A and B are shown apart, each in its own frame.
Chain A
Amino acid sequence: MAAITTLSSASFDETVGAAMKPVLVDFWAEWCGPCKMIAPILDELAGEHGESITFAKLNVDDAPDIARRHGVMSIPTLIVFKGGEAATRIVGAKSKAALLEDLAEFL
């Protein structure tokens, strides 16, 4: 099962910019209930679709600069980066089926 990569302010640009595959970044924080609800779903998706998409997460408490730069104003926010550019943005917690639908073009 593919693991979820933990990003930081320092590693974000390199990981997201240099990736060949699309990178899904989960902007989350410890104090966010809905973030905790979708965490197990993202674990499952990483296991099932880790070959198509690199799954990563960024704690906004540790990296408020990155969150601000990408206009994150609500968490959970999932942004899929392709070639370093934000290609899709999913705001708010959703079911696995709804996430799969949103991510279909990258799978």
Chain B
Amino acid sequence: MTGDVGPATREIAIIGSGPAGLTAAIYCARANLTPVVFEGEPSSTSDQPGGQLMLTTDVENYPGFPDGIMGPELMVAFRAQAARFGADIRTEKVSRVDFTQRPFRLWVGEDPSGEPALSAHAVIVSTGAQSLMLGLEAEERLIGRGLSTCATCDGFFFGGQEIAVVGGGDSAMEEALFLTKFATKVTVIHRRDQLRASKIMQDRAFASDRIEFLWNHTVTDVLGDEAVEGIRVRHTGTGAEQALPLAGLFIAIGHRPNTDLFEGSLAMKPNGYLITEPGSTETNVPGVFACGDVQDDVYRQAVTAAGSGCMAAIDAERWLEAQHDASHR
């Protein structure tokens, strides 16, 4: 670790600030590792500080909150807890990493060609996942104009109107149910003939007299110039198309991991999720650990993310201790 000019070398850097990253930060900070947390930059359409819970409403399955808690409120509390123990939280987005040499190097900002922002002996990757979009040309034009990936942010503006939600999982049901507070009718469009959502969410959605289901259909276009006026849907079996007049479309068709940054640096599954050693948070690079949704394509819950964040902090702490012992032997 000598001859390292440029940025100061820190014990540990954490990339990402959802439940996994901030739990790792709490544990690392309490272990006196003074972690630097790159929490990312605000965005409504991709990953953002606080993670996916920043775009949700009531979180009813996070233990300790018998009456539920708002997603953004929960994440503000996570962040405050990490800050209280001395985590160095930076509102910057990591744009490049070099895991080929130690200490590892991290760059931030648009131009990742200059000096790295930081070097660190260990890195915890907790960049999470982000909402998939439909991949339609109209999306770019109409996002924020009736097309949305955030029911909490935008539901309010659809009072008394008819809207649709695309998707069949828990997020789609949560959004649909939330949107019934405002919209007179919410059509759930799903490409299969049954939902993937949990039983409790399905029961609630089926019980709502404002939610209707359009099974076996995909969205092929979003209509409107200045604002959403309708959509085109196609039957997955017959291929028959029809237009539906709507004021809003909410997209909840799943997620993709935020791993573009680690292409070529860390081992991934074919679906882009990072590979960790079973029962641990170790990646294929010693000293780099991964936790939360970025390495979890099975459970994907706030509480499992937080749990694996704790594991990553402990794994990293032990690894750093072992390195330290080895260098003083």
Residues of A within 8 A of B (CB): 29, 31-38, 41, 60-61, 64, 67-68, 71-77, 91-98
Q: CA–CA, A32 to B156, complex, Å?
A: 10
Q: B144 touching A74 by the CB < 8 A rule?
A: yes
Give the residue name and chain of the A residue nearest to B155 (CB).
A31
CB distance from A96 to the nearest CB of B (A): 8
Asked, given contacts A67-B157, A95-B93, whether A33 binds B227 with beta carbons under 8 Å apart, the answer is: no
Q: CA–CA, A36 to B93, complex, Å?
A: 18
Give the residue name and chain of the A residue nearest to B227 (CB).
A73
Q: B42 touching A34 by the CB < 8 A rule?
A: yes
> Would you call B70 an interface residue if the criterion is a C-beta within 8 Å of the partner chain's C-beta atoms?
yes
Q: CA–CA, A77 to B91, complex, Å?
A: 21
Q: B144 touching A91 by the CB < 8 A rule?
A: yes
Asked, given contacts A95-B41, A97-B110, whether A73 binds B146 with beta carbons under 8 Å apart, the answer is: yes
Q: A31 touching B152 by the CB < 8 A rule?
A: yes
CB distance from B161 to the nearest CB of A (A): 10
Q: B44 touching A92 by the CB < 8 A rule?
A: yes
Q: CA–CA, A40 to B71, complex, Å?
A: 19
Asked, given contacts A73-B227, A91-B145, whether A41 binds B152 with beta carbons under 8 Å apart, the answer is: no
Q: CA–CA, A61 to B184, complex, Å?
A: 19
Q: CA–CA, A81 to B93, complex, Å?
A: 30
> Would you call B150 an interface residue if the criterion is a C-beta within 8 Å of the partner chain's C-beta atoms?
yes
Q: B48 touching A93 by the CB < 8 A rule?
A: yes
Q: B157 touching A74 by the CB < 8 A rule?
A: yes
List 14 contacting pairs A-B, 8 Å CB cutoff, sorted by A: A31-B70, A32-B72, A37-B50, A41-B42, A60-B157, A64-B156, A67-B157, A71-B226, A73-B145, A73-B157, A74-B44, A74-B150, A95-B42, A95-B91
A75 partner, pick from B71, B154, B227, B248, beta carbons under 8 A: B154
Q: B42 touching A32 by the CB < 8 A rule?
A: no
Q: A34 touching B70 by the CB < 8 A rule?
A: no
CB distance from B69 to the nearest CB of A (A): 12
